[in-house]
Structure 1
């Protein structure tokens, strides 16, 4: 096929409809979102091509659209989630709802498209098995679910029951676990969770960080990024080194942690009209507390008022890593009697978080160069204390971990599986609760064994790509079982207790290595 010239028009078929778009050198993602307005195709990392949220089918084959030049698909057929057969979409939505395979829903449309293509292309070999589906997920990132319920949705396709119309209990449980308003249902699976970047008023200007503390503006995300001179982030070969030293002392256990990226899929976004209130960047999920300090809403309001028109602020993956809140690194030692010292990068609220669970630990805040940190991240501070106390013998392996809210969780970790129990008041919806607990278990396993960011002596993060965060993939995740213990008490968040319990059990299983990640 002849490559179109720079002034040519591209002809392609999108979801069964012929379209013409200018060949301006953009990507297929630019065409689908900004030219045609298809919102089920998400931008989680462009132009890295590593999160899978923008996956579409090109002539039936899965492609990551943010790294696919639009001119390469001229004359070809592109299918997004919206272009799948309605019965196929419904069946996938029912499968994901039945297993709890979608929480925030940002990554799910791309996964559904890949799964649909995998099944449709398997006629000559038979339906691919679960292992093949897991390998297909290497092209994706899901931070919420921990993969297992996604693979269960793969297996449930075509046999899942219709979604219950009464979603009140499920929504309430999801809101408790996500700590922000959250929807549950088919619309979430299909990418309609109300993300700020998907609800932008027509004609809005786009603002992106310019790298100098200000904002670059354009009519489209691509135009704004060109003004800003954005260069795709890279992964550094430098190791993630814990920034703090363990205090001197006669300790039964010691631990040092490094900077850890929350890695939420929908990067910070907010829009505002002049004189209005900005759209929330939390959308459907809230990133487990990582977005509570986002600068996007204030910037959107200020820019909308300044330019006297609607403005959407979009933070790139690289910028979210450079400026977004991280889990605060710690270094400490503890004795079997529960006493000890814990140094932590200065973070508002972190001393109180540790004291609520481990009053015997003397907490010392330390100023070090580095990215921002937050005590709002999942169990920040007190989970580290539980890990350290378990390693020292102050807490017995398998002992129930009690969260500040009163939820209880236990965890047993071996080479093949992670086994969890949780008690957190009335379950409300066991599918949703189980999903969040599995996701928390995966997040804890991944944190202890694999996650960390390389940060230099000046405090600058150098691991800027999705695959550099160290998040454990679907094929590398142990099987996770969750037993929800009967409780008719007031429902509270249970997944944070699971996170702490699994982190402690994983650390002990890995030999209580003094430095995280253990590898």
Structure 2
């Protein structure tokens, strides 16, 4: 780096303008990835920012798990808000926008221009400067160091790699006369912010969810209890951190499934189970999903199958329910319609290469935020059907350990996604709709593969 000049977000002349446009277009939800994207976007010449292919190539260096890329593309094309005299905050009710974000994300979420600057308030950022750092060692025990570098040295772990191991589908569809079958495999939630918590001696640990919601994967994270225990043991504040490899190996995954439907609407649902979560939870969620999807419970056989693999949890986004809703929608003709008991509804269909989703969510509260969360849900669904998966070794250990190895759709691989918000719903009670969007997009993406019997359809 000798002789080089390094420019960070704070060093940009138009940093505030970029933050404004990112907020105005819904291109920043958690804000974790946004400053880096802004710095790279600011380096593009104006004519390159107007070139969609150039923007997608630029975004190859980045990953956003929240927004589905579409709002980010729109923000980069628009450029820094101050260049045309606008300001994202004008006329916006940040409180109403935050309510919509919390409804869709399931955790408290602050919406403001500050989020796009990286100042959204991640709990790990609030840890004292002199806090000790705890990491998991190669033997699975926690080690404590005076700094992150010290803890890394003590942990003795080697950075994970991507494997060439073939994918596996842990539960099979039984033999029978079926009109629709589906087998799913291990999928990594792929959130960008690894689990983190800090605690002072005798205090309460910062919540793992304060470092990003993770689509339900951090609900039972161990880092909070570890931070509290180690802070009390050492008499000093302690940050307990997962590495990416820890997230993949120890973090929960949605249960892989095998689903088969017969001509009368009955069928078999087999649910993979691994880890400590009570298998009865999977059965309860499955029954709820079958009823919501319009199936008759008495006509279905639900079975939990113990398998070797990372821990499974139904806490992840629409686990089991999303797949069942997609299967039910697939039995009808397009467009694919998913309705929740709340009255929220999503209707998805491809128009050429563009995925169009009509959402009925009551009062939008903030249409930009609603559209952003729905686009992110659609992106996750597209990836799950097409490309997302994690390979395991012969004894059930994940061997794809880098975030680039999970098959998350890159910007250039993601089709245009258009979210249409129903005008007739405006003024009604606001309804969370992103789970319906996720399921409807699963169905539409699956339909586009001619109902491939396994997800992901484009990887083996």
Equivalent of 1:201, from 128, 131, 147?
A: 128
| CA distance in structure 2 between the aligned counterparts of 1:341 and 1:443, rounded to whole angstroms | 26
Do structure 1's residue 270 and structure 2's residue 192 form an aligned pair? no
2:12 aligned partner: 84
**Contact 2:289-2:324 at 8 Å conserved across structures:** yes
Larger RCO (CA under 8 A, 6+ residues apart): 2
User: SS where residue 175 of structure 2 aligns?
Assistant: coil
- The count of corresponding residues between Structure 1 and Structure 2 is 439
**Contact 1:418-1:479 at 8 Å conserved across structures:** yes
Do structure 1's residue 514 and structure 2's residue 458 form an aligned pair? no
Do structure 1's residue 146 and structure 2's residue 68 form an aligned pair? yes
In structure 2, relative to structure 1, the CA distance for the partners of 1:467 and 1:399 (3 Å cut) is closer
CA displacement at 1:128 relative to structure 2: 5.2
**Contact 2:100-2:366 at 8 Å conserved across structures:** yes
Map 1:386-405 onto structure 2 (within 5 A).
Answer: 386-391=325-330, 393=331, 395-405=332-342
In structure 2, relative to structure 1, the CA distance for the partners of 1:473 and 1:399 (3 Å cut) is closer
User: SS where residue 302 of structure 2 aligns?
Assistant: strand
What is the Cα-based RMSD across aligned positions, in Å? 1.7
What do the CA deviations read for 1:329-350 (whole angstroms, capped 9, x no partner)?
A: 0012012432111101135433
| CA distance in structure 2 between the aligned counterparts of 1:294 and 1:307, rounded to whole angstroms | 21
Map 1:57-68 onto structure 2 (within 5 A).
Answer: none
**Contact 1:336-1:389 at 8 Å conserved across structures:** no
CA displacement at 1:371 relative to structure 2: 0.5
2:392 aligned partner: 455
**Contact 1:357-1:403 at 8 Å conserved across structures:** no
Map 1:35-434 onto structure 2 (within 5 A).
Answer: 73-85=1-13, 88-118=14-44, 122=45, 129-157=51-79, 158=81, 159=84, 160-164=86-90, 166-283=93-210, 285-346=212-273, 348=278, 349-359=281-291, 360=296, 361-391=300-330, 393=331, 395-413=332-350, 415-434=352-371
CA displacement at 1:276 relative to structure 2: 0.5
CA displacement at 1:248 relative to structure 2: 2.8
Which consecutive residues of structure 2, in runs of 5 or more, have no partner in the other structure? none
| CA distance in structure 2 between the aligned counterparts of 1:283 and 1:243, rounded to whole angstroms | 33
Q: Which range is displaced more, 355-364 or 243-252?
A: 355-364
Q: Which range is displaced more, 128-137 or 345-354?
A: 345-354
In structure 2, relative to structure 1, the CA distance for the partners of 1:126 and 1:228 (3 Å cut) is closer
| CA distance in structure 1 between the aligned counterparts of 2:334 and 2:234, rounded to whole angstroms | 58
User: SS where residue 270 of structure 2 aligns?
Assistant: strand
1:23 aligned partner: none
More helix by share: 2
User: SS where residue 303 of structure 1 aligns?
Assistant: helix
Which consecutive residues of structure 1, in runs of 5 or more, have no partner in the other structure? 1-72
In structure 2, relative to structure 1, the CA distance for the partners of 1:218 and 1:284 (3 Å cut) is closer
Instruction: Calculate the TM-score normalised by the size of structure 2.
Output: 0.92
Q: Which range is displaced more, 256-265 or 165-174?
A: 165-174
**Contact 2:338-2:346 at 8 Å conserved across structures:** yes
CA displacement at 1:218 relative to structure 2: 1.3
CA displacement at 1:490 relative to structure 2: 2.4
Report runs of 4+ in structure 1 exceeding 4 Å deviation: 125-128
User: SS where residue 194 of structure 1 aligns?
Assistant: coil
Instruction: Calculate the TM-score normalised by the size of structure 1.
Output: 0.81
